Structure 1
Amino acid sequence: MKLSRIDTKLNKYFEIALNFKSNHLALSQATGYEGAGALFRDGDDLFFDFFILKSEDIGRLKPLFQLAEVNEREHYFLVREKMTDPALVEFFTDLDNINGLVISYAGIESGNMIIKGFMHENSEMDFSNLIYKYNYTEFNIVQITLKPSPGFYYFMKNTDTALQSIIVSLPVAEFSQYRVIKILKETNATVQFVDNNPIHGSFRAIIYSDRDLSSVENMTVISERDHIYETKTNDSILLLLASKAMSNNLTLNFMFLYVYGDRLVINFILPTYRAKDYFKQIIDTEIDLNNFAWLTLESYGPVNDGNMESDP
């Protein structure tokens, strides 16, 4: 997908360490357990999901199972906790609403929740204002890191959680009536999704283009110089995929969309231990489309140069 074209377009990397009243964090502080998680929105509710791999010694974590909603999967346990602090929920809502910012990781480190992501330098002021706004609240902002972006690919290859890439393609002609797909067809652009799940029926998406799109309807300019924009889309194929993901509590670290020839290509990137669940969801989507000739699996494997730099 030629990730190198957009790899450092969001040229700032951030980490936020938070501490708040949480069974997840309390158990981590008591046992020293650390690991990956995810933020999951369902309507106005916000959940902190924590993943416990079955391959690990989890005896010391069993108390958590009595205190939270636990969903057992083939390779892991998903432990869910609803965030109830209004200020904390508002903080994440405001963070989500910063244009040109994506969250690529949530987890627990040293007894704190860690949020990692990327943004454009033009979003720095909004980010700084957000931190200042919530600096004196019941939850504690323990540490902020903001530095030049190492790039998406470096992040993918150096995260503690091994990531898998699932690339599928569909005939672009079947979806050419949609606004974002039209933009992809007409420009050499790549879309990166901000949201795992639709918010009020639509996804927010960052568009990396090679030309000016500022005059396009409902397009927010992130960087005029770099041709980076943000918009919303409610394309039916994406909503169908999202409905499957939501019903299975599935989240992604990255999701990219672009057009190659006559194919609409989607690259889903998520932890290896969750990839099988997501692949099953893609198959379910194909069944719902009722056209098995549409959806083609192009690649399924660990994140590497092959699936990040080559086209189907």
Structure 2
Amino acid sequence: MAEKYYSNGKLLLTGEYAILDGAMGLAVPTKFGQSLEVFSHKQPKLVWKSFDEDSSIWFEADFDLDGFSILNTSDKETAETLQKILTVARIENPEFLNTPSGVQIETRLGFPRKWGLGTSSTLINNIAQWANIDAYTLLSKTLGGSGYDIACAHHYQPLLYRLDLGKSKVLPLNFHPPFDQSLFFIYLNKKQNSRKAIANYRKQTFNKKKLVDKINDITQSFLEAQRVEEMESLILEHEMALSTILGMPPIKQKFPDYFGALKSLGAWGGDFILATGNEKTPAYFKDRGFDIVIPYSEMVL
């Protein structure tokens, strides 16, 4: 019988960028995730196949089991990234894949890769489960990042996340906005490169403590908001705080005639945004070429 592992996708509602400097972020796991299944293979090698949400193969590679040398692949860059992850996993657990028998892996996404819900973080978490090692360690020694996405991968409820002297602090919580029917996620038809966005943030000069304190206050108020108007005010405050530091306009400037509030999520300029709105919201964005509009209740676990 095959081994199977599963991890949830993620969205960070507050704290993007600032979470890297210790700010408290509100994160939610999504109903979309990624699975990893382990099968035996007749040849003594590691055979890897990655399937998109439409069941088409988007990546495949064969690795030697001794040192994870790449034997062949459909994408050299992806194979080298995977090779690094597997190598670190074995360093953390020398028994990992220490077998003469062949192994075949099949990963399956429950969302399009371009959505930015965590193709990499769900993979890291699944491999960590498979190798029986710490997922945060595997992330930090390979792709890097704050780690909030790893927390979402294996929690099934919203959570507060922050870094304390480099250590992940996770507080699962019950976050059910009474106005969630007025919240929507819109995909901006553009996948953002998180690593480049983080590098740009790191280049900025500003008072980090002041930003962290500001974001912490906004995050706490997000949890306490009882009316959508309160959240709209907080969204505006959050957007302005980061706009000043990043030197980028708030996303609302792209949709100046939209009747609700808009907030970037994750790397600014792409992936999903959060919108407050009503039954007219989907039509507004679809009329402007943004066809993927997902109500809060259909996205968040």
TM-score, structure 1 length as denominator? Answer: 0.26
Q: Greater Rg, structure 1 or structure 2?
A: 2
Structure having the higher strand fraction is 1
TM-score, structure 2 length as denominator? Answer: 0.27
